[in-house]
Structure 1
């Protein structure tokens, strides 16, 4: 018990040392006694659990209001926001974000704080003689995956960003920005090492820790951003062919934690606690307390689409009807079946479809989209006349599949050069909105981060 009390104290120190984020971390007032944490596998796994909890609670893949799913949902055309004028996310909905916006700073700060903690963890786990090689490999592999995940979302949202893998605070405070391509190449290096260190099987039956296939899917996402479609195809083919995963016939099964299409999920911190997604969207007020699905997306659903029937909740009063994301249904204190599914097999199907289409094999790509449509109770897409039409189908079907999930809509439109289509729906949309501004306070603290992103 004394060891775990010390561990908790050490990580409280780590949390506060990193709270000014990686780029402006000052000298700690007290030294972190890392030897306490890394003396055996149990305490090291507890330290790694801290990284997972930070990722779940305070990162891009948080399923709540300050995660990428909600923020880009109201930023693009997925969600209609009902937030008050004074709310810091209201600027996202109206596409009038300033570099001083506190929500922008929160995304940046929380990500770099966790990256700093990940870097400490990796530094102390490498060449650690106190822990078995098997445990050491697994934990380093998972930490490399988490670091790549954070940097992936940072560069998707902010463009060129500072990149660091050390805990040298003097160096980190004066970093220049690294190009998007180089960040993704750095991530590729991390993920390729993770593929060597991780196993195909999971170290927990609930898939709450990434395995090789989670690393492959994140690697495939990055290859898609770099238009390396042959590499996308290679990674996702191995996922789809794995006996670990199955595309089930009923959409209602997808958000059950035991769904056989889950590749990686995050569990709530307390037993029976609802997911952040359930808390955010399951509103009973008029209008909803946060957001509803936009008319733009609702008009795309066919009446027989099982996703419309099973994943969307309708709330009405005599004058209005609202359509709410209802993928996660369990209330707080009653949740025995739902975790937040960050990665699932359907994404692999869509990435493979996209790879085939961009390589000119349109029919093969459409066939993978059709498998999702048939699972959703819909007929197959038949004749496709062009690559552009195939991409239109891909984006529409993926929008209906992944609405409110982890920024898929924003990422897909951006990758396929379709973001400016939002000008038809979002009157304040500008071409430079493909990235957010860097937080103004970061530019003041570190002038090497200049210039500010174009348009801001």
Structure 2
């Protein structure tokens, strides 16, 4: 994990332009005494924390949508060809990037948690908030990491000797640490962010807990936290679904990572639009054009001039450039809370009535001008939830995680690709990490 430490130092060098911050060299570099010595350093380190997490979010979209049945490869990059053909390898560059994003976020968070207690001149409220932000984003990074890679190293220090030889911790241990981080953050974050959905608040943690408990199959808790968000009155569904596609920071956004014209990397826009390196699969095109999906077909667009050979002419439209006003990546939004509550209620047998799963699905189906939900039996309602998540959250990084956690991956994906194998229910540990970290040797995920 040495390279992630170097990257963080380089980031802070750019942010601070301080003469006493050394340029990184290709050796182990300690971050001690370089930054976060005074109260004036805290805002810059906070920027570094959010930037580290922000850089990871495109990896979540790639994992959630590219591993599943939402895309087909249309370009020349080997890494995306592996996702398109379902022949993922441990040397895939995007696998390495995601792993790096998890531990870069971890490192910055741990740096703050270690150093902040010794910094004087910071107000009590500012100290509590920054500590809570570090804990929450560390927890969320580990949440994504453990559901992507399975057992992962649980990194709680910036000590390099420790981190260069650290074994994988069991999934349950990592998830317990995630819950501890969420719980601590919930206690100390403000009820609402004064700067909107770009920064953390208790509402964001509640949304994360709703998703956490859904994945854990704790249906009562998932329903409870989703209801807190829905009933808070702080967020409202936008009337027209096309706003979700075309506008940053809508009224239903709980947390999203934002980009400006100056710092927009246009990563997803480049993949989906300018290069069209991947395009919507025929399956998602059919799904989004269905009467159930309704106006959510706005997620994609058709151009007959691009329809040739393997190209079906469809393009993902959810990510533009910053100047187009829809470059952001949504982490949590209100519609997901309705879907979490619908699934949790269906799993508890609460199907009909104002407090039933069908009522929650109907809210989203009505917004999208789709046909009414006709499912009646519990199994059918759960399949309706699965489809609704497919339509509503397409290209927001959910599909693969949903299929795996519900045990539906093998059935859906084997029908999608003849190359699908159950090993793809986890990504491989990057080969470079196994070579670098002696404690990881011999512990690759099965089948890789």
TM over 0.5: yes
> Cα deviations across residues 117-168 of structure 1 (Å, max 9, x unaligned)?
2210121123643200111111111111111111111111100000021112
Q: Deviations over 1:206-236 (max 9, x none)?
A: x211111111111222212221111111211
Q: Distance in 2 between matches of 1:443 and 1:318?
A: 41
Q: 1:307 to 1:145 in 2, by over 3 A?
A: farther
**Equivalent position SS for 1:342:** strand
Displacement of 1:335:
3.3
Residue 52 of structure 1 aligns with which residue?
Answer: 50
1:39, 1:162 → 2: CA distance?
31
Counterparts in 2 of 1:254-333, with a 5 A limit?
Answer: 254-255=244-245, 256-271=247-262, 273=264, 275-283=266-274, 289-300=276-287, 301-303=289-291, 305-317=293-305, 320=308, 321-329=312-320, 331=321
CA shift at 1:268, angstroms?
1.2
Aligned to 2:38: 39
Structure 2 SS opposite 1:254: helix
User: What are the equivalent positions in structure 2 for 1:80-95 lying under 5 Å apart?
Assistant: 80-84=72-76, 87-95=78-86
Residues 1:305 and 1:353: Cα distance change in structure 2 (over 3 Å): closer
Change (3 A) 1:8 1:52: farther
In 2, the alpha carbon distance for the partners of 1:10 and 1:167 equals 23
Alpha-carbon contact 2:365-2:371 (below 8 Å) kept? yes
Match runs of 1:203-214 below 5 Å:
203-205=194-196, 207-214=197-204
1:366 aligns with 2:358: yes
TM-score by length of 2: 0.87
Task: Indicate if the aligned counterparts of 2:280 and 2:315 stay in contact, CA closer than 8 A.
Answer: yes
C-alpha spacing 1:38/1:358, structure 2 compared with 1 (3 Å) = farther
Question: For residues 311 and 134 of structure 1, what CA distance do their matches in structure 2 show?
Answer: 41
Q: CA deviation at 1:189?
A: 0.5
Instruction: Check whether the contact 1:142–1:198 (CA below 8 A) recurs between aligned residues.
Output: yes
When residues 409 and 424 of structure 1 are mapped into structure 2, their CA distance, relative to the original with a 3 A threshold, is same
Range that drifts further, 311-320 or 428-437:
311-320
CA shift in 2, pair 1:49/1:298, >3 Å: same
Q: Residues 298-447 of structure 1 correspond to what in structure 2 (within 5 A)?
A: 298-300=285-287, 301-303=289-291, 305-317=293-305, 320=308, 321-329=312-320, 331=321, 334-336=323-325, 339-363=328-352, 364-385=356-377, 387-406=378-397, 408-421=398-411, 422-447=413-438
2:193 aligns with 202
Pick closer, same or farther for the CA change 1:191–1:160 going to 2, 3 Å: same
Equivalent position SS for 2:271: helix
CA distance in 1, matches of 2:229, 2:373: 24
Aligned CA RMSD, in angstroms, stands at 2.7
Question: Which TM-score applies when normalising by structure 1?
Answer: 0.86
SS in 1 for 2:136: helix
Over residues 227-279 of structure 1, what are the superposed CA-to-partner deviations in whole Å (9 max), with x where a residue is unaligned?
Answer: 11111112111111112101122112224234110001112154595854334
Whole-Å separation in 1 of the counterparts to 2:96 and 2:20:
23
Unaligned runs of 5+ in 2: 1-11
Matched length:
427
Local SS of the residue matching 2:324: coil
Q: 1:162 aligns with which of 134, 138, 153?
A: 153
